[in-house]
Amino acid sequence: MHDRQGSRTRRTTCAAAGAMTIALLAAATLCAARADDSTVAAAQLKAVATIDTRFQSYNIEMVEVTGGQFWRPYPRTARGFDQLDRYSARPPIDLANARLRLLAAALSPAYLRVSGTWANATFFADAPGKPPPGFNSVLSRAQWRGVVEFARAVDAEIVTSFAISPGSRDTNGVWKPDQAQQVVDTTRALGGRIAAAEFMNEPTLAATNGAPAGYDATAYGRDFKVFRDWMRRAAPETLILGPGSAGDAPSPSGAAITTRDLLAASGPGVDRFSYHHYNTISPRCGGHDDPAQALSEEWLARTDATLKIYQALRDAFEPDKPIWLTETADAACGGSRWDQTFLDTFRYLDQLGRLAKAGVQVVMHNTLAASDYGLLDEATFRPRPSYWAALLWRGLMGTIVLDAGKAASSDLHLYAHCHPAMAGAVSLLAINASRSATHPLTLSDSAERYTLHAVRLQGPTVQLNGKTLTLTADGMLPRLEAQATPAGAIRLAPATITFLVIPNAANPACLPRRSELQ
């Protein structure tokens, strides 16, 4: 009997131990699941920044307007690109094109920046012709009228820069505002206005950007003071942007002149602090980047690294001035081979999310419709994958930026804004940058879901909730339809981008203030 009792005791003990083991395993599994789960309580997200209504903007390069030598398209084959043959001739862009205007208007309100390297040596004239000595190209009055009319038609505010080449200077080499004055006067005469202007494009790279030989920070400081004083008199309504630098971050083509030296020489005087950023340079200029890195945190975080450099310079020389990123894309020199595919859409949206959360007021993508980094195909003006992403951002992400918190997984990126049209509603952007892992996300409220994915990451098409996005048969934009999603856990598939609109969040930061109701 004693032995039987002991046996029963041992069996009971073992059973209890087994049950405990199963419970512990279950708890461990649950904890592991929760550890990988990210929860969003939309009503509780706090406001961290407010951005410009025209935050998401774009460039049309000056050389697109005038016509001329621009970045040559990549060869159809996978053979190496000849850096000595990086340019090809192109006619002026057709700014009256109905499709171009339709698709640009869908991204409005926006800023339209007409500038770029070629603008530094462009002569403004009544009619096309051969540029005078000291200039490389001609911008005619009719071509500029096309810019003004395009901007008016699509609800875009014009941003530009002016010629600074040897032809724009007096006998002592000092910059003269006569060419810039003609652009300002003509814009007014055409019923338009220049909302903002940089003195020149990328003064840090002056040696290759059309400036006189030997141009340095001291010359820039002298010229900028002339520019600033002229602008205050001639166009006081126009915001002065500057310095519009590029290359201060470590890169294969580092700046020849530092922004610190430029700002020290010029003194204060900008209304908005501007800079340029590209993650890398394209094969046209010697880049050899592997698309395998395009979803990595190191690649995406290059946006933060460059911003940190220019924030510090802004704080030192132009404290409290709002920051504008006036030219950006994945790769300078026309874009990398994958920039026209869905793969670059991750960088495009992640960059907008990071910069908005950091309080950057405006981000101008280069370009709207030229070369491989264009949102639209330059030959057909048909949308590329990043255009569809831009369209969703425009419709869903408002100007009040919220703190979405840190996701449980390092390759899940979360960004939140108040919805631009629905009071109290929150829009969440969830980017799963993992190529293999599905990530869970728990929502406190029901949502409207928009998920972008592609059969091939480096393919030219993208799907929204399983349906390929394309223009309609009559060339119009399709309806972007959401998928109703209940509160609770959802799953984010690998290499997907999801917008989630939470209409009933009733987030206090997203409700109109009393003063706005009166």
For residue 3, how many other CB atoms are within 10 A of its CB?
Answer: 7
Q: Give the pLDDT confidence score for residue 24 in this predicted structure.
A: 29
Query: Which pLDDT tens digit goes with each residue over 438-479?
Result: 999 999 999 999 999 999 999 999 999 999 999 999 999 999
Residue 158 above 80 pLDDT?
yes
Percent of the chain at pLDDT above 90?
86
Q: Give the pLDDT confidence score for residue 255 in this predicted structure.
A: 57
CA dist list (Å): 117 to 69, 114, 174, 327, 442: 12, 10, 20, 11, 47
| Angle, CA of 304, 47 and 296, to the nearest 5° | 30
Percent of the chain at pLDDT above 70?
89
Closest of 192, 257, 185, 265 to residue 223, by C-alpha:
265
Least confident window among 32-46, 125-139, 264-278, 291-305: 32-46
Mean pLDDT of all residues in 334-342? 96
Mapping DSSP onto H, E and C, the string for 66-105 reads HCEEEECCCCCCCCCCCHHHCEEEECCCCCCCHHHHHHHH
Look up residue 328 and give its two tokens. Answer: 């950006």
CA dist list (Å): 445 to 49, 390, 419: 23, 25, 15
Residue type, 216: D
Residue partners of 221: CB distance under 8 A and separation at least 6? 262, 264, 265, 266, 267
Mean pLDDT of all residues in 31-51? 81
Q: Give the pLDDT confidence score for residue 250 in this predicted structure.
A: 56
Rg of the chain on CA atoms, in Å: 27
Let me know: does 392 contact 385? Beta carbons within 8 Å. no
Mean pLDDT of all residues in 201-225? 95
- Three-state secondary structure call for residue 245: strand
Beta-strand runs (E) in 283-350: 323-332
Residue 353, φ and ψ in degrees, nearest 5: -65, -45
Rounded distance, CA 183 to CA 160, Å? 10
Residue 156 above 70 pLDDT?
yes
Mean pLDDT of all residues in 485-506? 97
Q: Give the pLDDT confidence score for residue 21 in this predicted structure.
A: 33
Mean pLDDT of all residues in 135-164? 98
CA dist list (Å): 417 to 52, 130, 194, 400: 13, 50, 29, 6
Q: Give the pLDDT confidence score for residue 75 in this predicted structure.
A: 81
Mean pLDDT of all residues in 146-172? 98
Rounded distance, CA 162 to CA 198, Å? 7
**Helix segments in 372-473, DSSP class H:** 385-396
Mean pLDDT of all residues in 232-259? 85
Residue 36 above 70 pLDDT?
no
Residue 382, φ and ψ in degrees, nearest 5: -80, 145
Q: Give the pLDDT confidence score for residue 37 in this predicted structure.
A: 76
Q: Are strands 38-40 and 439-443 parallel, antiparallel or unpaired?
A: parallel
Let me know how many helices (H) and strands (E) the chain has, helices first.
12, 24
Q: Are strands 110-114 and 122-125 parallel, antiparallel or unpaired?
A: unpaired
Beta-strand runs (E) in 381-495: 400-402, 412-418, 426-432, 439-443, 447-453, 463-464, 467-468, 483-485, 488-492
Q: Give the pLDDT confidence score for residue 518 in this predicted structure.
A: 42
Let me know: does 183 contact 190? Beta carbons within 8 Å. no
Tracing tokens 């220049």 back to the chain, one arrives at 194
Rounded distance, CA 460 to CA 454, Å? 9
Kindly report the pTM of this predicted structure.
0.91
Q: What does the mean pLDDT of the chain come to?
A: 91
Tracing tokens 């907008």 back to the chain, one arrives at 352
Residue partners of 383: CB distance under 8 A and separation at least 6? 103, 375, 376, 377, 391, 469, 470, 471
Paired strand residues for 452: 464, 497
Rounded distance, CA 302 to CA 310, Å? 13
Rounded distance, CA 301 to CA 324, Å? 18
Rounded distance, CA 330 to CA 345, Å? 10
Closest of 141, 168, 132, 134 to residue 66, by C-alpha:
141
